[in-house]
Structure formats: C-alpha cells, structure tokens
Chains A and B, each alone.
Chain A
C-alpha cells in the first residue's frame, strides 16, 4: 500500500435539497414546513419584522422582544419558565437588525403545550414596568462586559463606519442608551410590529396537516392591532477610511476590513460568495494560510459576505498580536489585491469548488441545519432555487469571473479599516 497516494474520490454532483411546503393559517400567516424523518423533535420559529430597523429609539426592539416572556395576562414570568423547562423545551427570543421573534425547540410530544405558552407570549404579554427595570439592569451589565471585548467593539465600529450612525444598522450603542427609553416606547413597538399581518412561521415536522391544525388553533386569529412601522433611514458611510480605537493595555488588536456589499437578490451574490471563500471563507483560505499558518500572527482570520434586508456587507475579521497589527493589515490588503490582479489557478479553484459543494451537503444534513438554510431564503422571499443557483454557480464559476467580481466588489477605494487595540 502506498500511503502517499490519495484514495479515489467522487466529485459531489448532487446535493439533495429539502422540499418546503408553504401553507397559510386562517388569518393568512404563511407557514413554511420542512418535513423531517425525525419525529422526536420539532423546531418552530415565529418571525416578525420587529428587529432594530423598526425601533424609534436604540434598544427598544431588543427590550420589547426580551420582555414579552416576562409575564403574560395569564402567566407570571416564573410560571412560563417553569413550564418550558418542565417540558424540556428551549424557548429563545431573538432580536437582529431586521427581524425579531422566537425560536422554539421542543419534543414532539410537548408541541401542543409549548405552543400554547408561546402564543400567550406573542399575543398577550404583560410588558410590565417592573420586569422592564430588571431586564434593563441585567442587559446593561452584560453590555458593559461585552463592550470590553475588542472583537465586539471593533465589529460595532465597523458597522458604524460602513452604514453610518443615523440608522439602526450602523448605530453604535452606548451604555447611556439603556436609560433613554421607557415602557411607553416598548408598548409602541409591540403594538405596531407584533401583529399577525407582520410575521411568518417555520416548522419542522412529520405530519403537516396535523401540525397545521395545531398551529392554526394558536396563531390563526387576527391578533395585534397597530399599523406596522416601516422604518425610514438613510445609509451614510463615515468619511474616514481608517478608524482606530486605542486600548492602552491591549495584548491584541481586533481588525475589521470591509465595505457595504450586494444582498441576496443580486445575481452576482453566489459567485461573490465563492470569491469570498477563496479569500477567507474556510480553513484553507488564503488569509488563513498566510496570516495564521505561514506567519502565526493570529489564532484565526476569516472573511464573510452577509446579506441584510436592505444592504449587505463584506468583512474580514481577526484578532492579532498587538505588535503585528500593521503587518497584518498590509497582508490583508495584499491578499485582497491579489484576487483582483492575478487569475486564480485552476487547482485552487477546483479545491474551493469541492469544498463548497461538501459544505452544501453539510448545511443540508440534519433537520436543524436544514432549518437554518430554509430560514435564510424564506426570510428574503426566496426559495430553494436560490441554492440550486448557488450549486450551479459553484460548478461553473471561472477564474476570470472571480477576478472581475473581486475588482468590482472588493475595490480598495471602498474598504474601511477598523482597529481596536494598538496601531
């Protein structure tokens, strides 16, 4: 046996994508079902246009979302927690830049009972002032810890630099913002955003008809009353290309380099994802090879392309030894420049294509992974053809296309650099 010769392998030709069944509740709420072989567990998400974009003051979206489970008309906060825990379920409120909602993991046998609790939280939350004060204090304390982390601080500065501070995508939260809103702001956001006509539902299940009936029983009425607020903001990049926040005792610097970019609706999105993967999207990427495996400057470096509802962004992230901050930034720019000036060799592109096809297999492997993938397109009113195009694009992309896309979207003139630590 010759160990230096690799075994034969098959190129991945097919990735089996799950089918989504789109149904409606009596009130018109769309429900996206994913059929699962596994009948023991269910994931259920209810998603509202109630994220940061829809708040009139900083933090109100997150605080409203967090406060909803702290007591309803019929149950106290503790009773809710007791029941959810007793059923072995996980109920997680979440608030992001665009959406806010609830993620529920439960054993199938407890689906009915946990949905009963969730529907109370969504439709009849108490939103009490005393619970708000507890949440306010707790959140402020954890903000104070988080903001000490250089990676958190640099990410916030980065969003501010590419989107501007006059909108919820870019606004850089301050500790004092925790004292700037009242329970009335919470009522206002709840009334306008947590309305039946402003949401959708995703559910993994084995028996669609049966589960649809259960869900309709809890969420099928015309709940909520207000008129949805759409948010009306402008994006305005900051002027400076380089943003530095010095930390006197920093052992490391946190670096972000990037720019606003295209969103999922753009036809170039999939192929630009491939260019990004080459640069910093996997362990064997150019940035990892150069800055970690060759130079040992960092424990990790990556780049990502991410789409929001109203914009997208490209971002390189790393934490490096403070003494090699400038060297690292120079290398990041060098690698970005190389993508725009030299055609990628076929070997490397072949490697990235195979890696990305394998990644698609992984992304669609278990029901929980599938769920994330489906949510990521449903949220943009896209369907599985988004991933069919991605797979076709991975197979067909050429070195020339990578070069052109990199020139177009990773242009040095647009890139912002953020350093938190030492320059």
Chain B
C-alpha cells in the first residue's frame, strides 16, 4: 500500500506526493501529456526533439544541467507515443533547486537557434545509433505503419522520416511549446523525506504563477478495425531471419488490458514460459522469442517475435507461433500456470517499489492513465483475470485478419 497525497493548483498542475523518511534522496518527476501521438503527420519526431530542447536553457536560467549538478542532482528524460517524462533525483535538502529549474522551463523555454541546430544533429545521431546502424534496429519503424493506417501510433517517437527533424524551425518549436507545455497539461510527483505541507508550499511558490494555457486539441483518429492479414517482407544485412507478428488489442484502461498482459506473460515472461520452453528449448526452432504488449494509452499492439535458427523457414516459424496462440484458444490455462504469471506480476510490483524514482514515475504515469491510486489497485485487477478470460481474449485477438506480419530476412549475399 502506497500512501500518497494529491493537490491540484489553481493553474491546473496536479501534484502527487509520497512521504518517505527512510532515505536522504528525493525524486521529482514531471510528466507532460504530450507524446508522438500528438504530432502532425508531417512533423513527426517533434515531441522527442522537443524533449532534447528542454535542456537548452529557459527564460531565466541559461543552462539546466549545471545548477542541478552543483547541488548533487542528476536528471534525464524520455519520450514515448503518449507522454514526455522528465525526472530528477537529488539530496532532499536541495529539493528546491529541482522546483526552481522545472518551473522555469515550464514557464518559458529559451528559444534559441544554436540549441535547435545542435540538438537536431544529436537526434539524427540518435536515430542512426539506435535504429539504422543496429541489426534489426528498423524493425519497429516498419512494423508500426503496417499495423496502423490512421492512428499516429503508425510512427515511432523518433519520427517517420528524419527530414521532419532536419526541417524543424524555431517558430514551430515555439508553437509546440505553448500548445503542449503548460501546468494544466502536466503532473508533478515528489517522493522523499519531505512532508506534504512543505512540498505544497514549495510547489506553489515556484509553479503557481505559471499561467494556464490552451492545449492544442488535435483529434486523434481511431484506428479502423483491421479486416485482413497484412504482410511485409524486407531483406537486410543481418545474421539471421527474424519474424514479427502484431495483433491489435484494447486500450490501457480496458479490463481486457490485464488479460492481454497476462497472456503475453504466459507466452514469454521467464524461462518457464511457453514460447521459450516449446520453441527454443524443446524444438530448437528459434534462438530467441518474445511476446509483449505495447501498453499504449490508445488501443495498442500485442507483439510476438522471434529470431529463427538457421534451419527454420519463415513458414514454419509463423505456423509454430500460430500453433502456440491457437493452443491458448482451444485449451483453458490451468490454475497453477495462471497463478504463476500473477505471482510474477505481484513480485515485479514489489521490486519496482524499492526505488524512490520508480515510485515517483509510477504515480505520475497512473495519474496520467486515469488515477494515481492505480498503484494500489492494479494487482487486484490482475487477480480478477480467469482462465476463461484468457481463452476468450485469445480467441478474439489471435486471428489472421487481425495480424500484421513482418518477415525480416537476411540477405543471402551477406556483404
């Protein structure tokens, strides 16, 4: 049970707080409700580029990192399809420095050409390093537009075309800031040895004069129901063939989300899981297998993927994956196996709660999804899942017409 408090400032900023007397380290996390799904289709990768620019100085503070390092702090950030998250850990005695820094860049960023041109280049190198110059690095860039035809999940956070980043202008940076970065579009959480009242007064001191801003409300299109199997085949300089199956599933707040999560655990969480035991260990068709859900806010994907052993053909790989999925439709999961995956979820909650920063991030993310109290109620939603639920969701989503398949083949003339 995590005890936390909530306070909403007049300008709309939501504050979440957990008092932890056991540590001298504090975590301050800020989540902005903007991710790549909020981007214009011709300006993709912008939410992520913007995350980089947030470190280039703000209205009254020329540099973000240095003053924080000076007080013993550390920070970083990440962007995904749904939100952008900034986090700081520092000695609790110096926590006001975190509020000072975060509030100033929420108030107004220092829009500067130099920072934009350098960070454009840094992001291009990130694109090269993580996606292009990496075996299988572009698989997700290919799989997304195969599975999504209308919804902005069809592009990755890095963007669908690097020219969008190259062409980013300072005017658009400004427009993006004022339409997405606002107290009423943010959640801040604080975990550490600092009481709620002190936290509220410090947060009010630094954040309450930041004006409420109108948030750009671009309608995000629903993804139409997929009606036939989609396939894509590519050839790359990689050492072995790889296959990716993506099935559409529900959104994050739906009860079936928990069913899907457990389904993916049955298939591939831990060495006892089905895909590993049957296809890697017993039949040795794959060297590596994985099944996971994307966990997005809007309707997401259930992905099954594997690297093929040299003697395995794509046809066999796909057929054997479907065999495993079909088994989940035809036979009820027994109680022990279902209890096993629930135990794993429960243990993961406990392990994750050890760290102050994880707790701070979780509070913000659950509040963004629906309600921070989910940190305390999530497990009961997993516990309600039955073998019948598992079977019925497997029947619903593991169909050919709901499936997009990426055949990622190695070049025969491996140069």
Contacts and interface: CB of A to CB of B under 8 A. Distances in A.
B240 A89 contact: no
B2 interface: no
A413 interface: no
Interface string B262-280: 0000000111110001001
Interface string B243-287: 000000000000000000000000001111100010011001001
A82 B340 contact: yes
A248 B133 CA distance: 12
Interface residues of B, number: 81
Given A88-B343, A367-B354, A134 B61 contact: no
Interface string A65-101: 0000000000001100110111111000000000000
A149 B104 CA distance: 40
Contacts of A12: 72, 91, 93
A296 interface: yes
A38 to B, nearest CB: 6
A396 interface: no
A324 to B, nearest CB: 9
Interface in A356-387: 357-359, 361-362, 365-369
Interface stretch (A47-55, A136-144, A185-193, A220-228): A136-144
Given A150-B133, A252-B128, A362 B74 contact: yes
A284 B65 contact: yes
Contacts of A134: 280-281, 284
A149 B80 CA distance: 24
B24 A16 contact: yes
A333 interface: no
Contacts of A9: 70-71, 93-94, 96-97
A88 B348 contact: yes
B346 interface: yes
Given A86-B343, A357-B72, A366-B356, A37 B22 contact: yes
Nearest to B240: A141
B368 interface: no
A249 B134 CA distance: 12
Contacts of B350: 40-41, 107
Given A148-B135, A365-B23, A359 B72 contact: yes
What 6 pairs between A and B have smallest CB-CB spacing? A358-B72, A88-B347, A296-B121, A141-B287, A144-B239, A81-B272
Given A3-B60, A148-B239, 11 more contacts: A3-B61, A3-B107, A6-B67, A88-B343, A105-B351, A138-B280, A141-B288, A248-B415, A299-B126, A354-B71, A358-B72
Interface of A: 1, 3-4, 6-10, 12, 16, 37-38, 40-41, 77-78, 81-82, 84-89, 105-107, 134, 137-138, 141-142, 144-145, 148-150, 248-252, 282-284, 292-299, 319-321, 350-352, 354-355, 357-359, 361-362, 365-369
24 contacts: A3-B59, A3-B100, A38-B354, A105-B351, A134-B280, A134-B281, A137-B284, A137-B309, A141-B240, A145-B239, A148-B135, A250-B133, A252-B125, A283-B65, A284-B69, A298-B122, A298-B125, A299-B130, A319-B133, A320-B125, A321-B125, A358-B74, A359-B72, A361-B91
